[in-house]
Amino acid sequence: MSCCNTFSICSLHPKPKQLPPVLAFSFPKFSLLPFPSPQSPLLPLSWRHPHALTIQARSRTRREDRTARHSRIRKKVEGTPERPRMCVFRSNKHICVQVIDDTKMHTLASASTMQKPISEDLDYSSAPTIDVAKKVGEAIAKSCIEKGITKVAFDRGGYPYHGRIEALANAARERGLQF
């Protein structure tokens, strides 16, 4: 009989050690694995170095945040012929208000700091203040009541209900608009 057959264990020829199966070969920029290696430049820095500090820029601007808030408000507030929507726009230099019938897509009344009667009456140099917003609120209430509109749905346009927006709304309420 031979020294090594398949049924006996030979002390002269031990079995070779079994190595774990190799999944794939990994090179610095090339891998046969279905996912990139931990050092791959394809992975984000925080995955390659979990303790590394990563600083990300703000993904949305303040204007984009406001328009997102305004679209959420517009899902809930709709202007009808009986109760039109009073929409406010505020910029650094002006403040504008429109009363809109959304079913017909018509502007029924408007007031703004860009209109001659309001801009001549007020003397402001840099930006509309709370006093200017009150005057605009009084002007929109006056023009709405002249046209027979007493109830409106207030659309703050994504701006916080504070400061100029609040002053405009309160002035319109004091002049007879209901919302």
CA-to-CA distance for 171 and 141, rounded, in angstroms? Answer: 8
Q: What is the pLDDT along the chain (179 residues), one digit of tens a residue?
A: 455 555 455 556 555 555 555 544 444 555 555 556 656 666 666 666 666 666 667 678 999 999 999 999 999 999 999 999 999 999 999 999 999 999 999 999 999 999 988 888 877 777 788 999 999 999 999 999 999 999 999 999 999 999 999 999 999 999 999 99
145 in a domain, yes or no? yes
Q: Is the residue at 120 inside a domain?
A: yes
- Asked if residue 154 belongs to a domain, the reply is yes
Residue 141 lies in a domain: yes
Residue 5 lies in a domain: no
Q: Which residues of 136-165 are buried (b: 16+ CB within 10 A; e: fewer)?
A: bbbbbbebbeeeebeebbbbbbbbeeeebb
Q: Which two tokens stand for residue 40?
A: 């791959």
Q: At what angle do helices 130-146 and 164-174 cross, to 10 degrees?
A: 40
Asked if residues 59 and 151 have their Cβ atoms less than 8 Å apart, the reply is no
- Has residue 66 been placed in a domain? no
- pLDDT, position 26: 46
CATH number of the CATH domain containing 105: 3.30.420.100
pTM over 0.85: no
140 with 86: CB under 8 angstroms?
Answer: yes
Q: Is residue 101 part of a domain?
A: yes
Written in H, E and C, the secondary structure of 83-129 is CCEEEEEECCCCEEEEEEECCCCEEEEEEECCCHHHHHHCCCCCCCC
In a domain, 144, yes or no: yes
State the total domains in the chain: 1
Phi and psi at residue 139, in whole multiples of 5°?
-70, -40
Question: Residue 100, Cβ neighbours under 10 Å: how many?
Answer: 21
- Domain range for 109: 78-174
134 closest CA partner among 102, 111, 104: 111
